[in-house]
Amino acid sequence: MPFGNIGVPGLILILIIALIIFGPSKLPELGRAFGRTLSEFKSATRSLMNSEDENKPAEEKPDQPTVPTVHSNKVASLDERK
């Protein structure tokens, strides 16, 4: 991933370039628009994931995790377990 290591200097450079291109009056507006877009994307992703979970057949969805139960009060010794 080539953009994985941008770091602080890279972010500062991006902000300076954005300031030069858009000007100081448009940056807050662009930030709000980006934030709204990101939140809409996240909510759409969550709704898609939830709708996939609801559409699964009952056999695929575990209701509760299965835990093996022991009905005996007797504790097996090491010799009996072999």
Residue 82 has pLDDT above 70, yes or no: no
Is residue 10 assigned to a domain? no
pLDDT given for residue 39 in this prediction: 94
Rounded to two decimals, the pTM is 0.45
Q: Which amino acid is at 70?
A: V
* Alpha carbon distance 24, 54 (integer Å): 46
Is residue 5 assigned to a domain? no
pLDDT in tens, 13-72: 988 998 899 888 888 898 899 999 999 999 999 998 888 777 766 555 555 566 666 555
Indicate the number of domains in the chain.
Answer: 1
Among candidates 28, 6, 10, which has minimal Cα distance to 19? 28
Domain around 32 = 25-57
Is residue 33 assigned to a domain? yes
pLDDT given for residue 49 in this prediction: 87
* Alpha carbon distance 29, 43 (integer Å): 21
Is residue 45 assigned to a domain? yes
Q: pLDDT tier at 79 (50, 70, 90 boundaries)?
A: low
Is residue 39 assigned to a domain? yes
